[in-house]
Amino acid sequence: MTTNFEKTEKKRNILVVGSSGFIGSSLIKNLDTDRFNIYTAGRKEGDIIIDFEKVDTISKLELEEQLKFDAVLFLQGINPSQGIFDIDYEHFQKMLNVHIVSPTLFIQKLHQNLNDNCLILFMSSIAAKKGSYDPSYAAAKSALHGLVQSLANAFSSYRFNMLSLGLVENSPVYNQMTPDFRERHSSRMYRQSFIKVENVISMILELIDNDNINRVTIDIEGGYKV
């Protein structure tokens, strides 16, 4: 477990988990470095090197006591890839580890490094409502809704919120879909338009700044008709 913290202390500290992903990398490009110190966590690179697929690595995490975060953004994930007739235990467990188990244990380990009113943000999906061809993905995204409320009960001095996303244009999930599948999906969305990543980013920035928003799930799903 390695950490590398050499940033100033005057600005707000933002921890982006899954910083190399589609949304994570897009967010980092739009964070104002005059306002924020940006810390990253990922499997291969970042200020925190940690693999959420391997739950036991979290117990080995050690952070400097004086480092305090003002927002922790869980943008990591595993994309849906196995259907009901192909899925196995390993894939199912890995999906739950990355989306549910590891984030929970991470907060348990990290909570002494969080400032009061810290934003803790999770990312759900329209799959929690409509299902997914990968049942483990839909199950993990559905479980987040109960998890967020449970964590909010346990840690009342932090703000727990979640975004539920529809299909984001040019994301890895979008790019792996066939044109006819995209067309069927968009036909059930407002103006037949996919979600723009810049709209997701703007909402994340709003949640960082707006400390009156707590314990809510905000749908950015394009009015998808389930």
Domain CATH code at residue 19: 3.40.50.720
Those residues with Cβ within 8 angstroms of residue 122's Cβ, 6 or more apart along the chain or in another chain: 74, 103, 144, 147, 148, 160, 161, 162, 163
Average pLDDT over residues 40-51: 92
Q: Is the pLDDT of residue 10 over 80?
A: no
3-state SS assignment for residue 197: helix
Q: What is the predicted pLDDT for the residue at 219? A: 97
Check residue 5 and give its pLDDT.
55
* pLDDT, mean of residues 103-132: 96
Count of the separate structural domains present in the chain:
1
Q: Is the dihedral of CA 18, 22, 23, 27 positive or negative?
A: positive
In a domain, 185, yes or no: yes
**Entry pTM:** 0.93
Q: Tell whether 225 is covered by a domain.
A: no
Q: Give pLDDT, residue 39.
A: 97
Out of 8-12, 86-90, 97-101, pick the least confident.
Answer: 8-12
**What is the per-residue pLDDT for 8?**
47
In a domain, 226, yes or no: no
Residue 226, pLDDT > 90, answer no
Mean pLDDT of 154-178: 96
| Structural domain that includes position 51 | 12-220
User: Could you tell me if residue 57 is inside a domain?
Assistant: yes
Judged against a pLDDT cut of 90, whether residue 9 lies above it is answered with no
